[in-house]
Amino acid sequence: MVNAPLALLAELTHRCPLRCPYCSNPVELSRASAELATAEWARVFREAADLGCLQVHLSGGEPTARRDIVEIVAAAHEAGLYTNLITAGVLLDAALMQRLVAAGLDHVQLSVQDAEEAGAERIGGMKGAHARKADAARLVREAGLPLTLNAVVHRQNLHNLPALIALALEWGAGRIEVAHVQYYGWALANRAALLPTRAQLDEATRIVEAARAAHRGRLVLDYVVPDYHAARPKACMGGWGSRFLAVSPAGRVLPCHAAESIAGMVFPNVREVSLHEAWYRGEAFERFRGTAWMPPPCRGCANAEKDWGGCRCQAFALTGEAANTDPACVLSPHHGLLAAAVAEAGQAEFRYRGVA
């Protein structure tokens, strides 16, 4: 039985003023001319609500780069969806914040690259971005909206994890997501510069657990760990085509935001089919849904319906075949690829988009 999805990730655009070297967007970005129009997004939101989605995450790129972002928020609100804006905050000003609130915005998730200005600007590749983020946090707080900080952590900013948690408290966030980089897309190209040591990972885990205890009732800490030091894979997205769907800027319907990184897969488009058709009968969604597709050692494994075979995007990125057992599993014949990547990590320089 296929259950209805709980949430929709609406990737409104790939345009973004930042150049984060861990960007989760595809290596080949969609052009602005290919983006869904306002009316098309409004139809997608109505179909998502009819399908059973409860919330929509408005993302990018940078969603506020779209001139119609207020109209898009209003359309999502009118469809009955809880609206979460996932933003870098650098284009957010008081006038726009006021209009977004009036349109029905419910929540803001603000990304931060580091706890200190110099590190944040080096990682994000944009001067003045950190100060603008602080202003954005203030505007969200003054508007009375709940705020989540999203801190993507890696080898080059993990030393500032305590300061990032302190920043969430300082900026009035009720939640911080401490998310280790996941290595596909542009992040895979920068893996050597980003992948933490095992000692860094263990220390980060200790810091998060201590902060959870210290700030219980004041700050919620979500924690996403990398797979490269793991013995078992995560249940990526709760299982392929199980709880979540995404729509790309050009309208492709995806089981996860990174699915386009799997070469050779053809995904349905909202310009051609409904979300209902894509979710329940789309060939791409059926391909890795459930357990029937699994090869050994996943097939028959006691964890098959717990981790759902791990991440298909990671399996493809590391082995060239999306149906292979996720190398994060110690039983995978490709598990040694992770140890090799950890051993090779340490490169200091990032590769930014447009730079060879």
Give residue-wise pLDDT tens across range 196-227: 999 999 999 999 999 999 999 999 999 998 88
pLDDT score recorded for residue 350: 83
Adjacency order of strands within the sheet including 82-87: 220-224, 175-180, 147-153, 107-112, 82-87, 55-59, 7-11, 244-247, 253-254
The CATH number given to whatever domain includes residue 209 is 3.20.20.70
Range of the domain at 49: 1-355
Alpha-carbon distance of 326 to 226, in angstroms, equals 13
16 annotated as a binding-site residue = yes
pTM for the model: 0.94
Q: How confident is the model at residue 27 (pLDDT cuts 50, 70, 90)?
A: low
Query: C-alpha angle with apex 188: 183 to 193, nearest 5 degrees?
Result: 100
CA-wise closest residue to 185 among 260, 250, 111, 119: 260
Alpha-carbon distance of 11 to 144, in angstroms, equals 25
Alpha-carbon distance of 268 to 250, in angstroms, equals 11
According to DSSP, residue 230 is labeled -
Q: Which residues pair with 59 in a beta bridge?
A: 11
CA-wise closest residue to 245 among 104, 54, 79, 14: 54
Half-sphere exposure of 74 (CA within 13 A, CB side): 11
Alpha-carbon distance of 205 to 247, in angstroms, equals 32
| 290 phi/psi in degrees, rounded to 5 | 75, -145
pLDDT above 80 for 247: yes
Number of domains in the chain: 1
Q: Which comes out higher in pLDDT, residue 20 or 71?
A: 71
236 annotated as a binding-site residue = no
Of the candidate ranges 20-24, 135-139, 216-220, 320-324, the one whose mean pLDDT is the lowest: 20-24
Region 16-23 average pLDDT: 90
Give the tens place of pLDDT for each residue, 78-130. Answer: 999 999 999 999 999 999 999 999 999 999 999 999 999 999 999 998 899 99
Residue 19: burial class (beta carbons within 10 Å; 0-12, 13-18, 19+): middle
pLDDT above 90 for 154: yes
Of the candidate ranges 42-56, 60-74, 339-353, the one whose mean pLDDT is the lowest: 339-353
Average pLDDT of the chain is 93
Share of the chain above pLDDT 70, in %: 97
Angle between helices 69-78 and 94-103 (to 10 degrees): 20
Which H/E stretch holds residue 335? none
Give the tens place of pLDDT for each residue, 53-85. Answer: 999 999 999 999 999 999 999 999 999 999 999
pLDDT score recorded for residue 126: 87
pLDDT above 80 for 356: no
User: Between the CA atoms of 114, 318, 230 and 295, what dihedral angle is there, to the nearest 10 degrees?
Assistant: 140
Q: How confident is the model at residue 354 (pLDDT cuts 50, 70, 90)?
A: low
329 annotated as a binding-site residue = no
Region 325-339 average pLDDT: 93
Radius of gyration of the chain (CA): 20
Alpha-carbon distance of 109 to 64, in angstroms, equals 13
Q: How confident is the model at residue 234 (pLDDT cuts 50, 70, 90)?
A: confident
3-state secondary structure of 197: coil
Q: In one letter, which amino acid is 172? A: G
